[in-house]
Amino acid sequence: MVKLEEVIEGHEDFSDGEPSDNDSNYSTDDSDSEDLEESILERVLALRDIIPEDTRESISNKISTIMSLGVRSARLIGNGAWILTTSALLIFMPLAYEIEREHAFDQAYSQMENDQLMGQGGNPYGQPGQPGQQPMPPGQHQSRGALIPPGF
């Protein structure tokens, strides 16, 4: 005979210590789940039976077309990047080298001009001495080693 028992919502009584039918749904025992587990490959193979043959071919053709376009565009982008980088190296690196060399030459030239001006006493017109100094008597040379043409 079947014994009926009324269950009040929100009140659970597990005083008898035996698991109820609802507990079996939430059990952590994996013995039942091992039989039901399928691998992803088995699931995909099962889809093969569900999807019609013409639909599978259509999907396969679309995926292969997309993949081939992707490969071709990747090759095209790679070749374009190679052409741009090698062209830039061949054209702009020598240009950058010449610009740097010209800049170094300009710095050396301006340094040489500054040294000459300092050797002349800071006077850009070539007259010996600095403002406020007495001119040197004839026949004497400057102690700084500046070149004085004869007769001055």
pLDDT digits (tens, 9 = 90+) for 46-74: 888 888 889 989 999 999 999 999 999 99
> Each residue of 122-137: pLDDT tens digit?
555 555 555 555 555 5
Please say whether the beta carbons of 128 and 148 come within 8 A: yes
Token readout for 55 is 């639909």
* Residue 7 to residue 21: CA distance in whole angstroms: 13
Sequence-separated (6 or more) residues with CB below 8 Å from residue 27: 19
The predicted structure's pLDDT at residue 80: 97
Which pTM does this prediction carry? 0.38
Distance CA 62, CA 47 (A): 18
Q: Which phi-psi region, left, alpha or beta, contains residue 90 (left: φ > 0; alpha: ψ -120 to 50)?
A: alpha
φ/ψ of 125, rounded to 5, equals -95, 0
Query: How many beta carbons lie within 10 A of that of residue 120, not counting itself?
Result: 20
Give the pLDDT score at 115: 85
